[in-house]
């Protein structure tokens, strides 16, 4: 983190294109991401943000291009060229995915503790006491009272469910976490708490994050760098404050000037 | 090749314009031919009437605004980096360790306690939480922010308190170059003199400071030199 040239990027996307039939959802996307960096991706619905996340997370196979990832065990690999089973295993190990709707990322028929313990068991951990201890510790880190470890998350508020989803994703120490509108459906007061939590965890764990959001305020507070997408392309990219305070492209200027003043 | 070997930050033929695509493609040229050089222990106060581009120059020096042409050479890690062409990653490293910016406005995540807001730049440079908080507390004390406020978010503070929190945050990490925009604007006389003292201490310790400051007393106390921005010619 101290000397920028010393380390390799964790993720390098090159010429990534994804077509669905005649429609091109992502066109020729390229960028690099280093450990400790939060990259915001903004743009309106249908601009290709979620498709891009899907291609990086291995849920979608790109039509063209490479997704170079520095994997913990196997070193630098092109995720786009891996067989689907290999890709899923690697992604499961080294990446987290926080969905907008916590119900898509949690198992609602399993206790809060079970939701955090499950990824640990999938990673090969067997000792019940250790798993339960880690689950309790992570509940604390995401500010959920550890006495609720055996409760079903269906009874949690939306903000708590979202924090539980974050714990479930971070307990296995991923290096890269993809977040799709993580504060999307939440009340503003709950949003602030979650933003603060994400900010702290990212800093403490040195995570790399790709944060998809349509909320420029969220992007400003969390992202170091910003990419603006329109119609499947990156139209503008740079430091977050540069892009928001000195937007060059017509579309970015429109986005920034459309935010209602507070 | 260097015109000024002692410069901590130096601009060469800097130009900056804005093209407003949403408003009929109007092009506004704000800066043109800016050559400014600031050495260690200097405080250069930007001079010129309102609208001449002082704030724009300040933001450009921080990389907040991107330049049309010219260079912004910054002494960093014993070498020289051109901020105008630096990658985002290098620009972030420059801001973390070399280039500090004290704006008039505080922009923080609601809920984060004042002490953490102030300590954050030290944490970002790898200092432990405890030591960062102690140093943040000491500076907040000098700036007369009562201890009972430290655990609260500064979002609800008065304008003067927010400004002092901002100054504490900006000064704490001891960046070798400081860009300071109206540091005393909404402060009472006592706090104004504390801020001036702190900035003078930073200057004596070798910081290169560029400032915008309208308050005559603070100007006189801080400036080692003035830089008058060339008058703007209206673009056709």
Q: Does B17 touch chain A (CB under 8 A)?
A: no
**Residue A225: its chain B contacts at CB < 8 A?**
88, 92
pLDDT value at residue B183? 92
Look at residues B1, B35, B2, B32 and name the one whose alpha carbon lies nearest to residue B17: B32
Length of chain B: 236
Among the partner residues A2, A193, A246, nearest to B111 by beta-carbon distance: A193
B148: burial class by Cβ within 10 Å (0-12, 13-18, 19+)?
exposed
pLDDT value at residue A1? 41
Q: Does A35 touch chain B (CB under 8 A)?
A: no
The answer to whether the complex's ipTM is over 0.85 is yes
Average pLDDT of the residues in A25-51: 94
The pTM (predicted TM-score) of the whole model is 0.91
Among the partner residues B64, B89, B112, nearest to A242 by beta-carbon distance: B64
Per-10-residue mean pLDDT of chain B, 236 residues long, equals 73 95 89 96 95 94 96 95 95 95 85 93 89 96 96 92 94 96 91 96 97 94 95 60
Q: Does the pLDDT at position A4 exceed 70?
A: no
Digit-coded pLDDT (tens) for A196-255: 888 888 888 889 999 999 899 999 999 999 999 999 999 999 999 999 999 999 999 999
Digit-coded pLDDT (tens) for A78-123: 999 998 888 888 888 899 999 999 999 999 999 999 999 999 999 8
Within 10 angstroms of residue A180's Cβ, the number of other Cβ atoms is 22
Q: Does B113 touch chain A (CB under 8 A)?
A: no
Q: Does the pLDDT at position A44 exceed 90?
A: no
Cβ B72 vs Cβ B9: under 8 Å: yes
- Beta-carbon contacts of residue A260 (< 8 Å; ≥ 6 apart): none
Cβ A144 vs Cβ A164: under 8 Å: yes
Q: Does B183 touch chain A (CB under 8 A)?
A: no
Among the partner residues A4, A34, A246, nearest to B66 by beta-carbon distance: A246
Are A203 and B64 within 8 A, CB to CB?
no
Residue of A196, A202, A224 to mutate, testing the B interface (most B Cβ within 10 Å of its Cβ) = A196
Q: How many helices (H) and strands (E) does chain A have?
A: 10, 10
B67: burial class by Cβ within 10 Å (0-12, 13-18, 19+)?
buried
- Beta-carbon contacts of residue A155 (< 8 Å; ≥ 6 apart): none
Are A239 and B112 within 8 A, CB to CB?
no
Q: Does A241 touch chain B (CB under 8 A)?
A: yes
C-alpha distances out from residue B119 to A21, A254, B137, B195, B236, Å:
52, 35, 8, 18, 47
**Residue A220: its chain B contacts at CB < 8 A?**
107
Are A224 and B64 within 8 A, CB to CB?
no
pLDDT value at residue A261? 65
Within 10 angstroms of residue B41's Cβ, the number of other Cβ atoms is 16
Instruction: Tell me the count of A-B CB pairs closer than 8 A.
Output: 66
Digit-coded pLDDT (tens) for A133-190: 999 999 999 999 999 999 999 999 999 999 999 999 999 999 999 999 998 878 887 8
* Structural domains for chain A: 11-105+174-257 (3.40.50.300)
pLDDT value at residue B236? 41
pLDDT value at residue B98? 96
SS3 B38: strand
* A262 min Cα distance to partner chain B (Å): 13
Report the C-alpha gap between B160 and B222 in whole angstroms.
20
Q: Does B86 touch chain A (CB under 8 A)?
A: no
Residue owning tokens 């743009």: A43
C-alpha distances out from residue B59 to A83, B65, B66, B94, Å:
48, 6, 9, 14
Angle between helices A158-170 and A112-122 (to 10 degrees): 20
Q: Does B79 touch chain A (CB under 8 A)?
A: no
Backbone angles phi, psi at A110, to 5 degrees: -120, 150
């Amino acid at each position: 983190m101290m000397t920028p040239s010393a380390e390799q990027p964790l993720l390098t996307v090159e010429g990534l294109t994804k077509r669905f039939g005649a429609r091109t959802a992502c066109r020729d996307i390229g960028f690099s991401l280093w450990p400790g960096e939060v990259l915001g991706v903004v743009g309106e619905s249908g601009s290709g943000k979620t498709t891009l996340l899907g291609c990086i997370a291995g849920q979608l196979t790109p039509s063209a291009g490479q997704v170079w990832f520095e994997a913990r065990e196997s070193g630098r690999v092109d995720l786009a060229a891996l067989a689907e089973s290999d890709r899923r295993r690697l992604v499961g190990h080294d990446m987290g995915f926080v969905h907008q709707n916590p119900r898509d990322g949690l198992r609602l028929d399993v206790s809060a503790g079970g939701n955090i313990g499950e990824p640990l068991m999938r990673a090969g951990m067997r000792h019940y006491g250790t798993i339960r201890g880690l689950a309790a510790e992570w509940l604390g880190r995401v500010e959920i009272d550890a006495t609720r470890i055996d409760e079903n998350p269906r009874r949690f508020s939306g903000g708590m469910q979202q924090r539980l989803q974050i714990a479930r994703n971070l307990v296995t120490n991923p290096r890269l976490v993809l977040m799709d509108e993580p504060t999307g459906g939440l009340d503003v007061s709950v949003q602030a708490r979650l933003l603060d939590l994400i900010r702290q965890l990212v800093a403490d764990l040195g995570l790399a994050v790709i944060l998809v959001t349509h909320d420029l305020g969220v992007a400003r507070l969390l992202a170091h760098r910003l990419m603006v997408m329109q119609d499947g392309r990156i139209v503008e990219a740079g430091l977050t404050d540069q892009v928001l305070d000195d937007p060059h492209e017509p579309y970015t200027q429109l986005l920034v000037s459309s935010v209602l003043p507070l | 090749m260097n015109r000024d070997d002692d410069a901590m930050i130096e601009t060469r033929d800097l130009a900056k314009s804005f093209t407003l695509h949403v408003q009929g493609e109007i092009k506004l040229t704000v800066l043109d031919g800016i050559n400014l050089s600031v050495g260690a222990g200097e405080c250069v106060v930007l001079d010129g009437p309102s609208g001449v581009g002082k704030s724009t120059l300040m933001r450009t020096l921080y990389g907040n605004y991107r330049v049309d042409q010219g260079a912004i050479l910054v002494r960093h890690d014993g070498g020289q980096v051109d901020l105008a062409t630096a990658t985002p990653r290098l620009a972030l490293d420059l801001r973390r360790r070399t280039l500090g910016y004290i704006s008039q406005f505080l922009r923080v995540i609601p809920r984060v306690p004042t002490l953490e807001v102030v300590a954050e730049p030290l944490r970002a440079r790898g200092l432990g939480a405890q030591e960062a908080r102690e140093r943040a507390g000491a500076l907040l004390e000098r700036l007369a922010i009562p201890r009972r406020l430290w655990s609260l978010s500064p979002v609800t503070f008065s304008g003067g308190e927010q400004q002092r929190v901002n100054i504490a945050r900006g000064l704490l990490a001891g960046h070798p170059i400081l860009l300071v925009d109206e540091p005393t604007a909404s402060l009472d006389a006592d706090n104004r003199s504390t801020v001036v003292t702190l900035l003078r201490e930073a200057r004596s310790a070798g910081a290169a400071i560029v400032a915008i400051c309208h308050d005559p007393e603070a100007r006189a106390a801080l400036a080692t030199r003035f830089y008058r921005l060339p008058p703007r010619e209206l673009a056709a």
